[in-house]
Amino acid sequence: MVKVSVFYPNRKDARFDIGYYCNRHMPLVQQLVGPALKGVSVDRGLSSEEPGAPAPYVAIGHLLFDSVENFQRSFGPHVPEIMADIPKYTNLEPMIQISEIVL
């Protein structure tokens, strides 16, 4: 199982609409990618390890797939439509990491 994590770095001028992300963007991704997508979750950053310090990420989206190949095959054809939706909820440039779930 692999997890595709999309990190939205926190910065002073960050704009991020968590409602749109959870209720519109992630369902759009689920619809486009289809059954290859095995699960989704969204984390909203609250703070870092220092009391009162801002979280390093405003939000992190997680997508689960059986393999990197399944991710690439199902997600790849829809990249233009998915990317076009990003300005509707944020002014941040997402960072992506693909990880193998080992535990």
Task: Calculate the dihedral angle through the C-alpha atoms of 22, 95, 90, 79, rounding to the nearest 10 degrees.
Answer: -70
Q: Is the pLDDT of residue 51 over 90?
A: no
What count of Cα atoms within 13 Å lies in the side-chain half-sphere of residue 87?
3
> Taking the model in full, what pTM does it have?
0.94
Q: Is the pLDDT of residue 40 over 90?
A: yes
For 2-100, CATH gives 3.30.70.100
CA 37 to chain centre: 13
Residue that the structure tokens 């989704």 belong to: 40
Q: From edge to edge, which strands make up the β-sheet containing 39-44?
A: 39-44, 57-65, 2-9, 95-100
Q: Is the pLDDT of residue 31 over 90?
A: yes
Q: What is the mean pLDDT of the chain?
A: 97
Distance CA 34, CA 78 (A): 11
